[in-house]
Amino acid sequence: MGDLPHDENPDMGAIGHDGTLDADNPSTAEIAANSPRYRRKSSTFIDGIHDVSEDAYMAPAQLYSTMSGRLFHSGRIAIVMVGLPARGKTHISVSMARYLQWLGVKTRIFHLGDYRRATVGGGGEVPEDYFYPNASPSSVMLRQKILKKCREDIYAWLNHENGQVAIYDAVNPTASGRRSLAKEFAKHDVQTLFLESYVDDEKLLRENARNVKIGSPDFADMDPDEAARLYLKRIERKIPVFETMNEKELNYIKMINAGEKLFYNNISFNYLSHRIVFYLTNTHINSRATFFVRAGSATDEESYRADAPLSEAGWGYAKLMADTLTKHREQERAESIARGGPDIPLRPLTIWCSTRLRALQTADAFEDYGYKVRQRSQMSQINPGVCEKLSERAIRRLYPEEVEKHELDPYHHRYPRAESYHDLAVRLEPIILELEREQNDLLIIAHESVLRVLYAYLMHVGTMEIPKLKFPRNEIIEIIPAAYQNEAKRIHIPGLDPRMVPGSPEDIRIPVPGSGSDLPSFPGGGLGSPPEPVVVVDKPPERVVNTSADAVKDKLGDED
């Protein structure tokens, strides 16, 4: 995948009373909540959902911009999460932030657990009665200190950084506390939308606890089911009072059992609230993998309009790819059982492909395994317009001004009668919502331009990096959703002819810094030249996850 440029100004300080940054007095938000801006400093294989967004570029699917940076005439909104631990609040928060940021809505998540850890220090514990309604005076003071700091950072971001949606991720267990919170936000001219994740399905509770929490050292070498039971008992002991949402005067949405049912109350206050509800009707918190793979090579690789069939090499690639993915999924299941996971059948695999003949024929290789293939017309590759079949030299000669514009902004620029990557992202929005709704493992077979956009959504890649993302044919890319961030993995396809790996010309010769290029993505960037043949060496799958493990480790023991 393409690498992100290093941040030129990584030191963010606290916001002073005059609205300026105080670099000598970093806030808890910058230390704890926003430290993940360093995560994808060197690789787009690390999910950037928690990165501090830069204001220089529009979001991938953003349709317009405003002076204030706020969209849809919706003002400022605080989405307040409600629910006990292991109910999927953080997962929902991250998923919702991903979708809103994709649309261009300035959204940031404020995890109260980050503030608690920053206040009590590394390895510190809150008092036993910290969550009790009748807590001791010292515990009440500690709780108020943590809450005050978190809310100050929310207001600072909304007021001084033109933020629009602040997601407040905490338990918020009592009705009185929620009413007070709504009144406080109203004083700051912030609309409040409560979102409760309510789970009474014991099987789902145990699965959530097992998937999210038992990585803690407290449960090391313990049977996963027993660890989940102990963890849920710990929640009952530490948070003895929880009142589900029933406040008629508040704006709230209640998700029951990870989207099985959805209730809402008083949420018709603006367009953005309706978009949030619409998104929540298409999401869930069940774990499943998404795989990305290129279509095989065709007999006529350079034509956009000719719907050419697979070449002989393309058929061979399709068979190798299908065998590799099938073996990988079976191996992952065996490893999960060996680690103490449940001995259950493989999760069903759904296959999506475009309506192009080469994609359909690539998917045919899975028929022997009994998988169904669904065609998606929106997943057709980017339209090159007048650039079809033209060499880069010819494009430079015929359209020098267009080439210059394209090099400045390869994401938004379109050649005559062509599509831009932004056009493609807007076209793919129904696919993104279907992707969120899908509960089976999902394999997407498409042209590299389509894979770039869908991968960018799931891994929060910026617009200037999307045209440079690389999907060589000798790799399957797997994305695994997790509560705090998504994880990515490369799965090598062994035995391919090295000439197959570079594959078809990038975007039918549209002169954009291509998959084989390490050129800059804006001013100074040049045309990507065809990559050299790759020497294929058999190697095991490489797992590429967030190496800044502290934040993820912290979430494992999070009781907020």
**SS3 breakdown of the chain: % helix, strand, coil, rounded to 5?**
40, 15, 50
Instruction: Note the pLDDT tens digit of each residue in 417-426.
Output: 999 999 999 9
What's 290-480+484-544's CATH class? alpha beta
Give every CB contact of residue 3 below 8 A, 6+ residues apart in sequence: 42, 43, 44, 518
- From start to end of 384-423, where are the E strands? none
Q: Residue by residue, what is the 3-state secondary structure of 68-79?
A: CCCCCCCCCEEE
Q: What is the pLDDT of residue 401?
A: 94
CA atoms within 13 A on the CB side of 64: 7
Please check whether residue 461 is in contact with residue 455, taking contact to mean a CB–CB distance below 8 angstroms: yes
The percentage of the chain sitting over the pLDDT mark of 70, rounded to a whole number, equals 77
Q: So what's the pLDDT on residue 117?
A: 82
The CB-based long-range contact list for 121-126 (8 Å cut-off, 24+ gap) reads 126/559
pLDDT of residue 301: 75
- Written as one string, the DSSP assignment of 79-113 is EEEE--TTSSHHHHHHHHHHHHHHHT--EEEEEHH
- Active-site annotation, residues: 169
What is the C-alpha separation between 399 and 397, in angstroms, rounded? Answer: 6
Q: Could you give the CA distance from residue 507 to residue 380 in angstroms, rounded to a whole number?
A: 12
* Residue whose C-alpha is closest to residue 50's, from 31, 38, 36: 36
> Do 290-480+484-544 and 14-33+72-287 fall under one CATH topology?
yes
Please write the tens of the pLDDT for every residue from 148-173: 999 999 999 999 988 999 999 999 99
Separation between Cα atoms, residue 255 and residue 127, nearest integer Å = 31
Residue showing tokens 């501090």: 52
Domain residue limits, the chain = 14-33+72-287, 290-480+484-544
CA distance 52 to 29: 11
| pLDDT tens digits for range 503-554 | 444 444 444 433 333 333 322 222 233 333 333 333 434 434 343 344 444 4
Enter the pTM of the model: 0.81
State both tokens at 275.
């978009």
- Judged on CB neighbours under 10 Å (0-12, 13-18, 19+), 440 is middle
User: Any idea what the Cα angle at residue 275 is, between residues 274 and 276, rounded to 5°?
Assistant: 90
Amino acid at 530: P
Q: Residue 426: left if φ>0, alpha if ψ -120 to 50, beta else—which one?
A: alpha
CA distance 380 to 360: 12
Confidence at residue 258, expressed as pLDDT on a 0 to 100 scale: 81
Lowest-confidence pick of 308-312, 400-404, 479-483: 479-483
Sheet of 165-169: strand order equals 107-111, 165-169, 77-82, 191-198, 252-256, 261-265
Sign of CA dihedral 112, 550, 126, 559: positive
Least confident of 164-173, 238-247, 301-310, 445-454: 301-310
What pLDDT is stored for residue 300 in this prediction? 83
Q: What is the pLDDT of residues 175-212, one digit of tens each?
A: 999 999 999 999 999 999 999 999 988 888 888 777 66
Class (C level, CATH) for 14-33+72-287 = alpha beta
By DSSP bridging, strand 191-198 and strand 77-82 are parallel
HSE of 53, CA atoms in CB hemisphere, 13 A: 28
373 phi and psi angles, rounded to 5 deg = -115, 135
**Mean pLDDT of all residues in 339-350:** 84
Residue 87 half-sphere exposure toward CB, CA atoms < 13 A:
26
Cα gap 472→454, rounded to integer Å: 16
